Structure 1
Amino acid sequence: MQRHLTDVEILKELEPVAEAGLNHHLKVAKEWHPHDYVPWDLGRNFAALGGEDWDPEQSRLSEVAKVAMVTNLLTEDNLPSYHRGAANHFSLDGAWGHWVNQWTAEENRHGIVIRDYLVVTRGVDPVALERMRMEHMRNGYDPDEEERDIHEPGPLMISAYATLQELATRVSHRNTGKICDDPIAESMLQRVATDENLHMVFYRNMFSAGFDLAPDQAMEAVCAIIEGFRMPGRGMPNWRRNSVIMAKHGIYDLRQHLEEVVMPNVKKWRIFERTDVTAIGEKRREQLADYLEDLQKQVVRFEEQRDRMLAREAAKAERSA
């Protein structure tokens, strides 16, 4: 039987891994500046300074691109809540604190550059955007909500969740850039997606080390996170509607979640190949196997429904033409 490690013990044992991960990140991450990705020559004053306020016809973005850009931006906006969660479950001391602050500073650039782009290009209504930002940040985000029905969350669960969340965000940013029909927006969001991937690598390696340190505890953590995973933006205004639109148009759907986010990490962590878990860990991963099998069936059902919906919409548009 494996001894149950406390959060303090886990953090102490993993601090050298955090320091190595931080040093690697600082070595490979490239400095970039938000102002370099914004077409400032398209900007002009709004009515308060003698210009013209926003009108829908000013936007060059499709309705789907607007939804995706706003959803991605509002997700980035709740950074104070994310920072608080990371600081509470890791630490603000030593390598942990250095990482948390570095990660926070880098994530902050994402919100800066996307908002500047949208305001300067008049891509979305800036008044509506600001009202949604205020509402979303007032509501905040509680990372413990992912785990509170299971047991007290800790660094293993937070690392597992952050790995999946950072990778999911990378996929969403990358695919949003592709449908904006603007090379500037695509370049900007690809730059943001690259950051998210580097962040994912840090958390993924951290969890890998945690798996070796406490196999049964890590198995419980990762299974719980995969089975209960939800994006941190779910509390924002119009979240359900916008998520459906993004899934419908292939920006972030169930197949992408399974094949581009969940399964790569299942394979990386060798969840079904590990031999260091006890009967407790073995039982837990059997439950995960059942869940993944059901998730694959959900993917097929979703795609069948989506295909029928798109076919109906295409037929309706053809009749109206």
Structure 2
Amino acid sequence: MPDLTQVQLLTELEPVAEAELNRHLSLAREWHPHDYVPWEEGRNFAAMGGVDWEPEQSQLSEVAKAAMTLNLLTEDNLPSYHREITEYFSPDGAWGTWVGRWTAEENRHAIVMRDYLVVTRGVDPVALENDRMANMTKGAHSDDLYGLLRGVAYVAVQELGTRVSHRNTGKACNDPVADKMLQRIAADENLHMIFYRNICGAALDLAPDQAMEAISNVVTTFEMPGIGMPNFRKMSLVMAKNGIYDIRQHLDDVVWPVLRKWKIFERDDFTGRGAAARDELALWLEKTELDAQRFEEQRDRILAREAAKREWVGV
């Protein structure tokens, strides 16, 4: 049986997209960025007769600064993600309506995070703006080898990963205002994930081998969308070391939940291609489990040495 074309996939899956869109709209809670920002903490910067940012003004730890900056810069690149999604979705009907709604909701996340950081002077606003300009100028570009199927599989994984990252960042901020704000954002990301996850689940029923190949390709080569942003590796390492988002969380809290929902290792409708892709995925999962164990052991050793050093110097 020949593969379904992108047009055929879009047409066959549109009723599912419409149902998922309606479900999303029925569950999405209305909220407003200005309600999550402590405006009374705001004051002018030097250009308006005030004082420019200094590091001691921030109440955030270095871990929280890195996590908030990386998460915000990821949200900032929304125009690139909108373009990418528009390329593999139809601009019409339920597909087009969803893209518009998703874009508007994601933009709201960037608005509230930036307002919070600027008002509370959580990070250097000049450095943040310079990084935003560099990040958005570079943009995000994905491999469209599998088109729609790879796209929905990728965003299903990415949205769940973003939910985990936002939620843990909120806890790391040690600020109830930031925690409440990031809980609200994480709830949105979860609804977004469910839309894409369910579309991908329907695609597995419609074109099992095609969808399985796309899922295997996404999971085994996955990179978060902020990979090209300034200082991404440094900030990611800080987040991983401190339990914001690491390989164990990616595997246990992101990858495995979606694979179980799709019943990847229970399905019996794959032929040679799909079965081979599933086997490839299984090997990756085994390797990544070992990688996660090694990472945890190494992190524990590093944290123990740092704790011992602090005790020795009396900190």
| Band of TM-score, shorter chain | over 0.9
SS in 1 for 2:267: coil
1:142 and 2:135 equivalent?
no
Kindly provide the amino acid, as one letter, of the partner of residue 244 in structure 1.
Answer: L
1:287 and 2:286 equivalent?
no
User: 2:202 is matched with which residue: 196, 206, 209?
Assistant: 209
Deviation (angstroms), 1:3: 2.5
Q: How does 1:235-250 map to 2 (within 5 A)?
A: 235-250=228-243
Deviation (angstroms), 1:157: 0.6
Kindly provide the amino acid, as one letter, of the partner of residue 299 in structure 2.
Answer: R
Distance (Å, rounded) in 2 between the aligned partners of 1:130 and 1:307: 35
User: For the Cα contact (< 8 Å) 1:82–1:143, is it kept in 2?
Assistant: no
User: 1:172 is matched with which residue: 165, 168, 171?
Assistant: 165
Kindly provide the amino acid, as one letter, of the partner of residue 77 in structure 1.
Answer: D
Kindly provide the amino acid, as one letter, of the partner of residue 306 in structure 1.
Answer: R
SS in 1 for 2:104: helix
User: 1:308 is matched with which residue: 290, 293, 301?
Assistant: 301
User: For the Cα contact (< 8 Å) 1:35–1:113, is it kept in 2?
Assistant: yes
Instruction: Please name the residue that 2:116 is paired with.
Output: 117
Kindly provide the amino acid, as one letter, of the partner of residue 246 in structure 2.
Answer: D
Kindly provide the amino acid, as one letter, of the partner of residue 137 in structure 1.
Answer: M
Q: How does 1:255-274 map to 2 (within 5 A)?
A: 255-274=248-267
Deviation (angstroms), 1:198: 0.2
Q: How many residues align?
A: 314
User: 1:227 is matched with which residue: 220, 231, 235?
Assistant: 220
Kindly provide the amino acid, as one letter, of the partner of residue 103 in structure 1.
Answer: W
> Structure 1 segments of 4 or more deviating over 3 A?
none
Kindly provide the amino acid, as one letter, of the partner of residue 135 in structure 1.
Answer: A
Deviation (angstroms), 1:208: 0.5
Deviation (angstroms), 1:153: 2.9
Residues 168-201 of structure 1: CA distance to partner in whole angstroms, max 9, x if unpaired? 0000000000011100000000000000000000
Distance (Å, rounded) in 1 between the aligned partners of 2:276 and 2:203: 19
Distance (Å, rounded) in 2 between the aligned partners of 1:143 and 1:192: 24
User: For the Cα contact (< 8 Å) 1:77–1:111, is it kept in 2?
Assistant: yes
TM-score (norm 1): 0.97
CA-based RMSD of the aligned residues comes to 0.8
TM-score (norm 2): 0.98
Distance (Å, rounded) in 1 between the aligned partners of 2:234 and 2:308: 23
Instruction: Please name the residue that 1:254 is paired with.
Output: 247
Relative to structure 2, which stretch is displaced further, 183-192 or 269-278?
269-278
Question: Identity of counterpart residues, as a percentage?
Answer: 65
SS in 2 for 1:61: coil
Deviation (angstroms), 1:284: 1.6
Distance (Å, rounded) in 1 between the aligned partners of 2:102 and 2:193: 11
Q: How does 1:17-56 map to 2 (within 5 A)?
A: 17-56=16-55
Residues 236-272 of structure 1: CA distance to partner in whole angstroms, max 9, x if unpaired? 1110111011000000011100000000011000111
Residues 182-225 of structure 1: CA distance to partner in whole angstroms, max 9, x if unpaired? 00000000000000000000000000110000000001000110
1:71 and 2:70 equivalent?
yes
SS in 2 for 1:262: helix
SS in 2 for 1:143: coil
User: For the Cα contact (< 8 Å) 1:159–1:206, is it kept in 2?
Assistant: yes
Deviation (angstroms), 1:320: 2.0
Instruction: Please name the residue that 1:57 is paired with.
Output: 56
Instruction: Please name the residue that 1:9 is paired with.
Output: 8
Kindly provide the amino acid, as one letter, of the partner of residue 162 in structure 2.
Answer: T
Distance (Å, rounded) in 2 between the aligned partners of 1:203 and 1:302: 30
Distance (Å, rounded) in 1 between the aligned partners of 2:154 and 2:280: 18
Distance (Å, rounded) in 1 between the aligned partners of 2:29 and 2:283: 41
Deviation (angstroms), 1:276: 0.9
Distance (Å, rounded) in 1 between the aligned partners of 2:184 and 2:228: 26
Deviation (angstroms), 1:280: 1.8
Deviation (angstroms), 1:143: 2.3
1:85 and 2:122 equivalent?
no
Residues 35-79 of structure 1: CA distance to partner in whole angstroms, max 9, x if unpaired? 000000000111111111111111110010000000000000000
